[in-house]
Structure 1
Amino acid sequence: MANRNQIIQEINQLLTGGGFETSQVYYQSCFDMAARKKLLLLLLKVLVNIDSVNETHVQEIRKVANTFLASPLVIGLKSKSSPLEEDVVYERHGLPVIGVDTLKNIVLYDERPEFLADRGGYFVNINGSILKEYREEYSLSLKDLADLAHVSRETIYKYENDMVRANPETAMILEDILNMKITVDIDIFETPKCDFDLNKVSSEENTNSEKTKDLSNLGFGVIETKKSPFDALAIENNSNDKSSDESPLIASLENNRAPKTLHKMAISLKDLSLITDSESFFIINNKKIKESLEGIPVIKSWELKEAGDSKEFMRLVKERRDN
């Protein structure tokens, strides 16, 4: 069986072959790589055994994905000792999970999975409005169709009102009766619904100090991360809505890191900025480090404190970037 690095390499080749721009691999991060194709941004976590997914990492990747309007996705080989089935979507801690072959079908052939693995077996989603439309076209009552499909009248009612999933066998029987496809493909690239609001993060949730508070005071919503290639994400408070053109900012807060470590982080920040179409910057106290690291703007802590508001701060960041 392939190891994790081999799977990551295979996925990277698959995505680039399918027209995606991919990032470098971020080891020891809540996500292993990012990939973009036009407006679709993916944050991928790769595992051999999907049951080893870390719930804390999941919570962080959901926050990051929500901020970037990205789609988080776990890709694996097996669950316990059983290989993942092709064209089946699994779920772990609220994240969609698929096998490599399923990803290949999506990326190369645009074939979306229909089956969802859950407790009790496999299920499919039914388009309730189409089911009702064709039932009525055939002049069948709820009971008539239920009798033909060997289910209860209440079950057909729930299907038509999108209240429950169906088992694949029942769905096939209904499609044979109505001579119409009624199952719905699963959209694994849907941006996760999240009640997390970057603008409403309390100061207690941000533990890194003064730098985070100073960014908040300028008018940024800020979250800190513990398992990602950066230390924090920020977005202007008046821009955190779906219609805004402003992208999140990626921040690295020095935290007494050695210069060699900072240079490595700068390379990752540059890479992520390109993939996510975001600005990135360092906030650093070290006087020996000038105005940029590997092309990433460096802002000194005193400059952060002296900025009047988020607009003034962003002008400084863009000025350093352009220089």
Structure 2
Amino acid sequence: MQRDHILREINELLANHNFETSHIYDRSCFDMVARKRLLLLLLKVLINIDGFTGQQAEEIKKVASTFLASPLVVGLKSKHEYLEEDVVYERHGIPVIAPETLRNMIVEEIYPEVFADRGGYFVQIDGEAIKEARERENLSLKDLANQAHVSRETIYKYEHGMVRASPETVINLESILNMKITLSVDILKIPETEPVNITDNDPKELVNLGFGVIPTNKTPFDALATRDPEKLKKNIAMITNMEKNRNQRVLKKMAINVKDLSGVTKTEAVFILENKKPINCIEGVPVVHTHEIGEMETCRDFLKIIKERKECS
């Protein structure tokens, strides 16, 4: 199966289940973005997940954390085998799943409980549920351990969340206790990143207004800006053309992309240009000139001019 075919299928799957989806960005660190209410997915699709590098992962984490999105890699196989359905793998701290697993999540709202790690497959157990059920059945740690064919210490560790279990052990315990004790994998977790550090390369005009600026690589934009560089949660804007000399044709193509992403991520998009030509927007994306930013007093002035020029586009 070709990667382009998988991407089209995923895009159709999400669109058919009330997700707002972006264009597909083949040369970006992510392939597409999709939103359904408060859930924002940042998706990367690969045939072989072993080709996913640590550098790609860090870039996706940075973008996902800023957008408050859940990064997810969808792949077909690793070097040695095809990915199994309803199992969560991991590459460089980002969850990886097979296309069928994504379909189960979207269509059936069934989330995987098994994750693959060195040494095999494992399940996270609800320790409190085990303890409550054991005490309700008047079983000691040793009683339950004997029935489950594990040690007393192992049951103790299960109840206190100290170790994970094999799927076979979980099936055995659930049969003994006559209840579900597994927890779903936290596959939609938003990654944490380091606080934004201002560098000499950041646009000083924006920094002086109180923005944190996060440069990005291999994205349809050049940087992300936020008014809250510690928490990365408020007033995010996608910035394009940071100190880069691009012709009008390239700028128009970039404008179409960032306008698309702005709509799905519910963020602002803006061009920052150094020239003084009277351009207020490009393909519906507001333009702010560096000399204008230098005359502003607060970040509200910057956000106000973006709003005005977006409404006039």
TM-score tier, shorter chain, comes to: over 0.9
Moved over 4 A (4+): none
How far did residue 70 of structure 1 move?
0.5
Matches within 5 A, 1:38-77: 38-77=37-76
Q: Could you say which residue in structure 1 is the equivalent of 2:281?
A: 292
Q: Which moved more, 1:41-50 or 1:288-297?
A: 288-297
Aligned to 1:139, the other structure's residue is in SS state coil
Q: Could you say which residue in structure 2 is the equivalent of 1:203?
A: 199
Q: 1:149 to 1:253 in 2, by over 3 A?
A: same
Structure 2 distance, partners of 1:104, 1:93, is: 23
Q: CA contact under 8 A between 2:158 and 2:164: conserved in structure 1? A: yes
Gapped regions of structure 2 (runs ≥ 5): none
Q: CA contact under 8 A between 1:65 and 1:71: conserved in structure 2? A: yes
TM-score in terms of structure 1 length = 0.93
Q: Share of identical aligned residues, percent?
A: 54
Structure 1 distance, partners of 2:91, 2:229, is: 34
Structure 2 distance, partners of 1:22, 1:16, is: 6
Matches within 5 A, 1:68-107: 68-107=67-106
Code of the residue aligned with 1:305 in structure 2: it is G
Matches within 5 A, 1:219-238: 219-237=210-228
Tell me the alpha carbon deviations over residues 42-75 of structure 1, each in whole angstroms, 9 at most, x when there is no partner: 0000100011002111101101111111000000
Q: CA contact under 8 A between 1:250 and 1:281: conserved in structure 2? A: yes
Structure 2 distance, partners of 1:15, 1:176, is: 36
Matches within 5 A, 1:11-22: 11-22=10-21
Q: Could you say which residue in structure 2 is the equivalent of 1:282?
A: 271
How far did residue 260 of structure 1 move?
1.0
Q: CA contact under 8 A between 2:62 and 2:193: conserved in structure 1? A: no
Structure 2 distance, partners of 1:302, 1:65, is: 31
Choose the corresponding residue for 1:248, options 224, 232, 236: 236
Q: CA contact under 8 A between 1:23 and 1:34: conserved in structure 2? A: yes
Code of the residue aligned with 1:45 in structure 2: it is K
Q: CA contact under 8 A between 2:29 and 2:44: conserved in structure 1? A: yes
TM-score in terms of structure 2 length = 0.95
Aligned to 1:188, the other structure's residue is in SS state coil
Q: CA contact under 8 A between 2:66 and 2:232: conserved in structure 1? A: no
Code of the residue aligned with 2:11 in structure 1: it is N
Count of residues in correspondence between the two structures: 311
Tell me the alpha carbon deviations over residues 25-54 of structure 1, each in whole angstroms, 9 at most, x when there is no partner: 112111010000010000000100011002
Q: CA contact under 8 A between 1:68 and 1:247: conserved in structure 2? A: no
Q: Could you say which residue in structure 2 is the equivalent of 1:139?
A: 138
Q: 1:278 to 1:114 in 2, by over 3 A?
A: same
How far did residue 197 of structure 1 move?
2.2
Code of the residue aligned with 2:239 in structure 1: it is A
Tell me the alpha carbon deviations over residues 243-299 of structure 1, each in whole angstroms, 9 at most, x when there is no partner: xxx341111124111211111100011001100111110001234461100010001
Tell me the alpha carbon deviations over residues 106-164 of structure 1, each in whole angstroms, 9 at most, x when there is no partner: 10111111110111111111001101100111111112111111111111111111121
Structural RMSD (CA)? 1.5
Structure 1 distance, partners of 2:304, 2:180, is: 54
Structure 2 distance, partners of 1:322, 1:167, is: 57
Gapped regions of structure 1 (runs ≥ 5): none
Matches within 5 A, 1:260-275: 260-275=249-264
Q: Could you say which residue in structure 1 is the equivalent of 2:187?
A: 188
Structure 2 distance, partners of 1:238, 1:309, is: 16
Structure 1 distance, partners of 2:232, 2:159, is: 33
